[in-house]
Amino acid sequence: MRNLLFEIAYRGTNYHGYQVQQNAVSVAQVLQDAIESVVGSREPITGCSRTDTGVHANSFYFNMKTESLIPENRFPVALNHALPGDIAVKSCRQVPMEFHARYQCREKEYLYQLWNSEIKNPFLEGLACEYKYPMDVELMHQAAQGFVGTYDFKAFCAAGGKEIETTRTVYKASVYRKGEHLVCFRISGNGFLYHMVRIMAGTLLEINEGKIPPDSVRDIILSKDRTRAGRTAKPEGLYLNRVEYGDEWFGKSI
């Protein structure tokens, strides 16, 4: 028996999130179908996170305990032959048996992309949130610094979230322009609540629109009142961008 850790990337447009759903197609279901076709049995897999319908991942990890003898360096090739074009296995490595892709995660980084133009970009359809109004990127960047720190982020958790403990630590937050029309909101922390990053993005957009004062982010957090934060931004601009585990599992960070 081995415990294997896989890194994947996926476009979430055609899926109802990562986790298995009873009446909808998910990324995990498609992965398990591919794994079953390769190893001959339906293996349980453990993801590093949950993602919502339409959300993407540049880097996502899951681990799987298996008795398959396929070498780690051959697994990505075998699975990619069985997977659709919008899911790709990037790597596979053996990890200790007690390793858990979700519980051993020490940092996650999310990226939210906005296409800031009156003219739509057909090559970013479903991959960035369209926003045609002028954007004060520096104002939004300064406002985003209010997210940094350890707080109870209940005000940035959507109804329906199952988390009992809503305290999280945000390490870094930035808003910047990439080229003429692409604006990126990047944020990292030790974990995120249900719709937390999308509510943060929506709050920054309402600050840009003058609906929320730019210096009020910290006050909104301390209020623990969801109604004081901004709207929930659309899912198609959101990516799980980076996941980090500690040196104790691999000898070096991945």
Any idea which residues carry the catalytic annotation?
52
Which runs of consecutive H residues, i.e. helices, occur in 181-224?
196-208, 217-223
> 169 and 189 in contact (C-beta within 8 Å)?
yes
> 167 and 82 in contact (C-beta within 8 Å)?
no
Beta-strand (E) ranges in 44-156?
45-47, 56-66, 87-95, 105-115, 129-130, 149-152
Q: Which of 144, 147, 140 is nearest to 168 (CA)?
A: 147
- The DSSP secondary-structure symbol of 72 reads T
Read off φ and ψ for residue 149, nearest 5 degrees: 130, 180
Amino acid at 107: E
